[in-house]
Chain A
Amino acid sequence: MKVQALIKKNTYFDSVSLMSLSTKANQIEGVEQAIIAMGTEMNKEVMRNVGLLTPEVEVAGASDLIIVVKSANDELCETAFKSINDLFIKKNTGKKGKSDIKYSTISAAAGNNLEVNLAIIAVNGAYAAREARKALENDLHVMMFSDNVSIEDEIELKNLAHDKGLFMMGPDCGTAIIGNTALCFANAVRKGNIGIVGASGTGSQEVSVRVHEFGFGISQLIGTGGRDLKEEVGGIMMLDGIQALEDDEETKVIVVISKPPAPSVEEKVLAKIKNCKKPVVVWFVGGNEEKITAADAHFAKMSKEAALKAIVLAGADESKLNKRALNIPLINEVRTKLTAEQKYIRGLFSGGTLADEAMHAAMVKFDNVYSNIQRNPEYRLKDRYTSQEHTFIDFGDDEYTQGKPHPMIDPSTRLERFIQEAKDPSVGAIIMDFVLGYGAHEDPVGAFLPAIMEAKHQAEQEGRHLEIIGYVLGTELDPQDYQEQIDKLLAAGVTHASSMQNAGLLAREFVVKGE
C-alpha cells in the first residue's frame, strides 16, 4: 500500500464541502482510503490515527488543504489525485454576469452590491466575530451560525447591531425564516401572520411546522442564538426581535421560544411582553407558568400547544381543528408487548430542543431521567457513551460532535449509539427525531433504515419487542420528500409520531408500568 499526500497551500474550504468531497474521493476506483481536509491539528490527529500522516501532512498548516490517498501503488495514487482535482472543478453554468465575480471580503462584496442586506457567518468561531463586525459596519443584518464565540464579543456585536437598528442573530443561531426564505436550518412553511422569536433552533422549527400543519403560516422567524437570554447578554436580541414583530404589520401573534431565561432577563422579557400590543405565546421549555400568565402572555407547556394557542389567537376556529390527540389504544397495545424489565426510554436526538421537550415530558412521571443537557448536575450523564436509566441525548452538543458536522448533516455518531441502545434489554422505547428542511440531511430516515431493520430483526430473534418511535420534523414543502420519509419509518415497523410533543408523551406512556 502506498500513501501519498498533496498539500495545497493557503487554500480554504469549509468542512461540509470537504466532507462531501472526501466521500466522493473514497468512491474513486483504486482508492483504498482518501481524506480531504484542512490541516488543523485535529484533522492531522485523525490522519495519524488511521496511518495517513505523511511528513508533508505533518508540516501542513491550518489554512492548507490536505489531500491524502492510500492506494495499491503510486500510479493509482496519481490517478486518484487527478480524479480528486476534477471534483474541485465547478462546472461553468455558462451564465455570465455579476455572480461570476468572486469576492474575498464582506466589505468588497457589500461595497459592490448595494442591494445586499444580510450576512450569514458560518466560519470557525475564532474568526466569526471579526466577520460579523465587518458585516454590521457595512449595515448588514447578521445571522451567525458559528459557535465558540466569546460572550464579550457576543455582547459587543449585539450592542453594535442594536445601536444601528440591525439584527444580530447568534452566535450559534441555526434557524431563521426572513421574508419567507429559510436561512441555514429551517423548514419550508407557508407565509402567514404568526411571528416567532426563538433562542432554540429546533424548538422554533418545531413550532413553525406545527403552525404550517394547522393551516397557518409564519410571517418571520427570528433566531437569537442560545445564549441571548443569559444574564450577561441580557436578551438584547430577544427584546429587539419582539419589538420588530410588534412593529411588523403582517404579524398578528408572536411566539417566544427559549429555555427558561436567567431571572433578571426573564423579568425584562416579560415586561416587554406585558407592554406588547399584540398577543404573545411563551414557551419556555420546562418553564414556570405563573410569571408568564402574570405578564398577560399565553403560557404553553409544550410545542404543539404553543402552535395551537398561536393559531387560535390568530383567528383559527378551535372546534374545527384536528389536534392530533394521543392514540390511547396504541399506548395500551405497546404496554402489553413490553416486559417488566423493558422500562427505560432512550432518546437519541439531533435537535437540542426536541431532546429537551421529550426529556421534560418524561420528567413529569419519572425522576431518574439523565441527559447531557440536564440543568441539574445530579442528573447529567456520567459517561457520554453509556446510558443510565431514562437517557436523553442531544447529539448536537459539542461533546458529541467533536469537530464532526452536526448530526442533522452527519448521522454517524447517533447511528452507532442507536445500534448500541437497541441491544439493551432494559430499553422499553427508543425515540428519535428526523429533521428535514433546508440545511438538513437529504434522507435522514434512509440513513437509519438498515440499522433499524437489523435491530428489529435481532430483537425478534431474542424474543423481545423493540419499540422505536420516530418523529419526522418537516413539511410537504421541504426539499426532502416528507411523506416518503414517514412511509419508510412505517414500513420498518417504527411508530410514527405526528409531533415532537406527541413523540415525547408516547415514549413516556409506553414505558409507564402499572397504570
Chain B
Amino acid sequence: MSRINDLFKSKPHVINVGIESFKDDLLQQGAEVIHLEWTPPGRGNPSLIAALDKFENKELLEKIEAANNLAVERIINSQPVLIGFDQAINCVPGMTKTTILHAGPPITWDKMNGPMKGAVTGALVFEGLAKNVEEAAKLAASGEITFSPCHEHNCVGSMAGVTSASMFMHIVENKTYGNIAYTNLSEQLAKILRMGANDQSVIDRLIWMRDVFGPILRDAMKLNPTGIDLRLMLAQALHMGDECHNRNVAGTTLLIQALTPYIIQTDFTIEQKKEVFDFVASSDYFSGPTWMAMAKCALDAAHGIENSTIVTTMARNGVEFGIRVSGMPGNNWFTGPAQKVIGPMFAGYKPEESGLDIGDSAITETYGFGGFAMATAPAIVALVGGTPEEAIGYTTKMREITTTENPNITIPLLDFMGIPTGIDVRKVVQTGIMPVINTAIAHKEAGIGMIGAGITYPPVEAFEKSLLALSEK
C-alpha cells in the first residue's frame, strides 16, 4: 500500500474538478491545487458520452492510439518541398476549363455566400467564360460549371478559395510519402478575388499573375534543382515571430530570398522582374498560401488510417465549416454552421458587415501553426485582441486537444516546445475546447473584399458528428 503511505506522508496535492470553493479552502490551508476548467463532456449529450465511453474500451483504445500515433508520425515526418509552379489545368487532378474549385466542404451555387459568389463570377470573367459578372452569375446558375471543393483535388484555397483552370498553382511534393498538394498564388491583400472582389482591377491583376508573375515563378523553379524545403522554412519563420497564418512577415522574406536567385536568371525583362519583387513586397501575405499547401501536403499523408480519430482537414465555405477525420477515408465531410470571426475591422467597417468564417486556411491550424502557434507571434496578439500571456495560453490550451508536439517546428518562448499536433476529435468533444483559428474577415457582400482579421472557432457540431460516425464504424 505504498501509494496510500505516500499520500499520508506528504500533503495532498490536489486536482479539483467541479465546485471551485473547495479549491479556495485548500489554498487557505496551504495545499497545492490545480482547479480544472471543466465542462460536461460532449455538452452533456448522452449519445456522445456513450461514444466516448465506447472508445475507452481497452481493445479499441489500443487500436485508436496506435492509429493516431501513425497519423501524427506521418504528419511530423512529412517533408513538403516546393518543386514548381504551373497552371491548374496542367497539374491539378480533375481540373477542366469549366471547373471552379472552392474552399470548404461541398456547396452549390445557390447556397454560396456573397464573397464566394463574387469570387466565382470574377473567375468566370477572368477565364473568358462570361463577359461580365452579371452574365457570369447566370452561367454559374446554369449547371454548366462544375463546382468542387479544393480539398477533393489535393488543393487548398485561401478565403473563397476560388481556383480556375488558368490560374498558377504552387506544386508541393511530399518527399517522404510522395503525395502532392497545390494552391494558387497570393493576390496580396484587401480588394482581391478570394475576398469576393471582382471589378476590373481584380481581373487585371489576375491576368498579370497568369501572364507574368506565374510564368516567372514557374521558370525560376525549373532552374532550382532541389526545390525549397518548406517545413524547414516554416520552422525558421516561426522562430522569427510568424505564426504563418495571419502573420507572414518573416516567412515571405525567407521565401522570396530563396526564389530570387532563380527569378533573376529567367528570360523576362528587368522591368517584369521588378514588378514581381514590388508585388511581393506590397504585402506580407505572399507566402500565406505556400504554408497552406505545405500543411495540406503533410495532412493528406495522414488521411485514411483506419481507427484514427485525428482531424486531417478543417475548411469553411462561408456557410458551413467542415472537417475530415483520418479514420473516415475519402471525402467524408462533417459539418456545422460557419461562425463569426471576432477581431479588429478596417476603418469604416462594422462587425455586422462581416461575412462568416471562410477558407481552407484553417489547414494551418490543423497542422499545428496559425492560431495553435500564437505563443510564437507576440507581435500580432493585438490583432486578435489579447496580451502575450493570452497568446501563450492559446498555444498551451491546444495541447489538451492534440496528440503530441512536432519536434521539427518549435516555439522558443515555450522552451522550444513543438507545435501542438494531431487534433483528436475525442479530446475536442470530451473537453469542449475548440481549435482556435486565426483568420481574415471578408465583407459579406460580393465585390468588396477584406475588411478585418481576428480569431474564430469551429462549430462543435462538426466534431460531434464525426465522433458519432467513428463510433458507429
Which residues from chain A sit less than 8 Å from chain B, CB to CB? 10-17, 61-63, 96, 99-106, 108-110, 113, 115-124, 126-127, 130-131, 133, 135, 139-141, 145-146, 164-167, 178-184, 188, 219-220, 240, 243-244, 247-248, 250, 438-439, 479
Query: B39 and A10: CB pair below 8 A?
Result: yes
How far does the alpha carbon of A164 sit from the alpha carbon of B389 in the complex, in Å? 39
A104/B400 in contact, CB under 8 A:
yes
Assess the A179–B41 pair: CB atoms within 8 A: no
Q: Are A102 and B397 in contact (CB under 8 A)?
A: yes
- The answer on a CB contact under 8 Å between B17 and A106 is yes
Choose among A10, A140, A244 the residue that contacts B4 (Cβ–Cβ < 8 A): A244
> CA separation between A61 and B460, bound complex, in Å?
13
Contact B396 A63 (CB under 8 A): no
Q: How far is the CB of B284 from chain A (nearest CB, A)?
A: 31
Inter-chain contacts of A116 with B (CB < 8 A): 13-15, 32, 34
**Inter-chain contacts of A165 with B (CB < 8 A):** 1-4
CB contact under 8 A between A131 and B17, given known A118-B7, A165-B4: yes
**Given known A17-B20, A102-B397, contact A439–B25 (CB-CB < 8 A):** yes
Measured between alpha carbons, how far is A14 from B105 in the docked complex, in Å? 37
* Known interface pairs A116-B13, A181-B26; A17-B21 also in contact (CB < 8 Å): yes
Which of chain A's residues has its CB closest to B393's CB?
Answer: A102
Q: With contacts A116-B14, A117-B6 known, what are 5 further pairs, Cβ within 8 A?
A: A10-B43, A14-B18, A63-B44, A120-B16, A127-B44
B240 interfacial contact with A, CB 8 Å: no
Name the contact of B18 in the complex, choosing from A62, A63, A120, A133 (C-beta under 8 A). Answer: A120
Interface string of B397-430 (1 = CB under 8 A from A): 1011000000000000000000000000001001
Taking residues whose C-beta sits less than 8 angstroms from the other chain, chain B's interface range is: 35 or more
Q: How many CB-defined contacts (below 8 Å) exist between A and B?
A: 185
In the assembled complex, how far is the CB of residue A112 from the closest CB belonging to chain B, in whole angstroms? 9
Top 6 A-B residue pairs of the complex, sorted by shortest distance between their CB atoms = A122-B18, A12-B39, A123-B18, A438-B25, A122-B19, A104-B431
Cα distance A118–B14 in the bound complex, in angstroms: 5
- For the complex, is B269 an interface residue (Cβ under 8 Å from A)? no
Tell me, in angstroms, the Cα distance from A490 to B430 when the chains sit together.
Answer: 52
B57 on interface, CB distance cutoff 8 Å: no
CB-nearest residue of chain A to B401: A104
* Docked CA distance A126–B38 (Å): 14
Complexed CA–CA distance, A135 and B12 (Å)? 14
**In angstroms, how far is the closest chain B Cβ from the Cβ of A7?**
14
Complex Cα distance A126/B50, Å? 12
Chain B residues, Cβ within 8 Å of A100: 389
Chain B neighbourhood of A115, CB < 8 A? 13, 32
Contacts of B13 in A (CB 8 A): 113, 115-118
In contact, A104 and B39 (Cβ under 8 angstroms) = yes
| Any A CB within 8 A of the CB of B49 | yes
Contact across chains for B10 and A181 when beta carbons are under 8 A apart: no
Contact indicator B34/A16 (Cβ below 8 Å): no
8 A-B Cβ contacts within 8 A?
A10-B460, A14-B19, A17-B20, A115-B32, A121-B18, A123-B40, A179-B11, A244-B1
Contact indicator per residue, chain B 424-451, by CB within 8 Å of chain A (1) or not (0): 0001001111000000000000000000
A10-B458 Cα distance, complex, nearest whole Å? 13
Query: Looking at A17, A108, A145, which has the most chain B CB atoms within 10 Å of its CB?
Result: A108
A113 to B13, CA, bound (A): 10
Contact of B25 among A101, A103, A182 (CB under 8 A): A182
Is the beta-carbon distance between B25 and A164 smaller than 8 angstroms?
A: no
A166 touches B14 (CB 8 A): no
Contacts known (A104-B400, A182-B25); A113 close to B18, Cβ less than 8 A: no
A76–chain B nearest beta-carbon distance, Å: 24
CB neighbors of A among B50-93 (8 A): 52-53, 56
- Cβ of B32: which chain A residues have Cβ within 8 Å of it? 115-116
Partner of B36, one of A104, A118, A244: A104
Q: How far is the CA of A14 from the CA of B34 in the complex (A)?
A: 16
For A13, the chain B residues whose CB sits under 8 A away are 20
Q: What chain A residues lie within 8 Å of B430 (beta carbons)? A: 105
Q: Does B28 contact A (CB under 8 A)?
A: yes
Q: Which of A11, A103, A438 contacts B34 (CB 8 A)?
A: A103
Give which listed residue, A15, A146, A183, A188, contacts B12 with CB less than 8 A.
A183
| Chain A residues within 8 Å of B271, by CB | none
A130 in complex: contacting residue of B1, B14, B19, B53, CB < 8 Å: B53
A117 touches B10 (CB 8 A): yes
B15 is contacted by which of A140, A167, A182, A479 (Cβ under 8 Å)? A140
Beyond A135-B15, A181-B29, A479-B28, is A124–B40 a contact (Cβ under 8 Å)?
A: yes
Name the one of B6, B7, B39 contacting A63, with C-beta atoms under 8 angstroms. Answer: B39
The minimal Cβ–Cβ distance linking B34 to chain A, given in whole angstroms, is 5
When distances are taken between beta carbons in the complex, the residues of chain A under 8 Å from B4 are 141, 165-167, 240, 244, 247
**Given B9, B14, B18, which contacts A145 in the complex, CB threshold below 8 Å?**
B18
- For the complex, give the distance between the alpha carbons of A427 and B431 in Å: 53
Q: Is the CB of B37 within 8 A of A103?
A: yes
Give chain B residues whose Cβ lies under 8 Å from the Cβ of A183: 12, 14, 22, 26
User: Are B39's CB and A121's CB within 8 A?
Assistant: no
Partner of A178, one of B7, B15, B36: B7
Q: In the complex, what residues of B have CB within 8 A of residue A11's CB?
A: 39
Q: A residues within 8 A CB of B53?
A: 130
CA distance A204 to B44 in the complex (A): 34
- Given the known interface contacts A63-B44, A178-B8, the answer about A106 and B36 at a Cβ–Cβ threshold of 8 Å is yes
Whole-angstrom CA separation of A243 from B3 in the bound complex: 13
Most interface-central of A62, A104, A127, A178 (chain B CB within 10 A): A104
Q: Do B400 and A108 have beta carbons less than 8 Å apart?
A: yes
Which of chain B's residues have a CB closer than 8 A to the CB of A99?
A: 34
Contact A123 B31, CB 8 Å, known A63-B43, A102-B393, A439-B22: no
Task: Judge whether A123 and B8 touch: CB under 8 Å.
Answer: no
In the bound assembly, the distance between CA atoms of A146 and B18 in angstroms comes to 9
Tell me, in angstroms, the Cα distance from A140 to B12 when the chains sit together.
Answer: 11
Residues of B within 8 A of A120 (CB): 14-18, 22
Alpha-carbon gap, A10 to B18, bound state (A): 15
**With A and B bound together, what is the CA distance between A116 and B6 in angstroms?**
11
Known contacts A103-B34, A120-B17, A127-B40; A178 and B12 CB within 8 A of each other: yes
Does B37 contact A102, Cβ atoms closer than 8 Å? yes
B46 shortest CB reach to chain A, Å:
8
- Chain A CB within 8 A of B226 CB: no
Q: Does B142 contact A (CB under 8 A)?
A: no
Q: Is B5 an interface position by the 8 A CB rule?
A: yes
Closest to A104 in B: B431
**A113→B14 CA distance, assembly (Å):** 10
CB distance from A218 to the nearest CB of B (A): 12
Closest to A437 in B: B25
Q: How far is the CA of A121 from the CA of B22 in the complex (A)?
A: 10
Q: Decide: A139 near B18, CB < 8 A? Known: A117-B12, A179-B8.
A: no
Contact B36 A103 (CB under 8 A): yes
Complex Cα spacing A120 to B13, Å:
10
CA of A104 to CA of B3, assembled, Å: 25
CB nearest neighbor in B for A184: B22
Within 8 Å CB of A110, what residues of B?
15
Query: Shortest Cβ distance from A249 into chain B, in angstroms?
Result: 9
Query: In whole angstroms, how far apart are the Cα atoms of A10 and B429 in the complex?
Result: 11
Which one of A121, A124, A166, A438 lies within 8 Å of B3 (CB-CB)?
A: A166
Q: From known contacts A117-B6, A122-B22, A165-B4, infer whether A104 and B432 are also in contact, taking CB-CB under 8 Å.
A: yes
Contact of B11 among A16, A123, A139, A181 (CB under 8 A): A181
Task: Known contacts A63-B44, A124-B40, A130-B49; decide if A104 and B433 are in contact (CB<8 Å).
Answer: yes
Task: Identify which of A102, A243, A250 contacts B1 (C-beta below 8 A).
Answer: A243
Residue of B nearest to A132 (CB): B17
Residues of chain A lying within 8 A (CB to CB) of residue B52 = 130
Give Cα distance in the complex from A131 to B22, angstroms: 17
> A105 is contacted by which of B3, B7, B431 (Cβ under 8 Å)?
B431
Bound together, the chains give a CA A124 to CA B22 distance in angstroms of: 15
- CB-CB under 8 A from B22, the residues of chain A are 120, 122, 145, 183-184, 439
- Name A124's closest neighbour in chain B (CB-CB): B40
Bound form: Cα–Cα A16–B43 in Å: 20
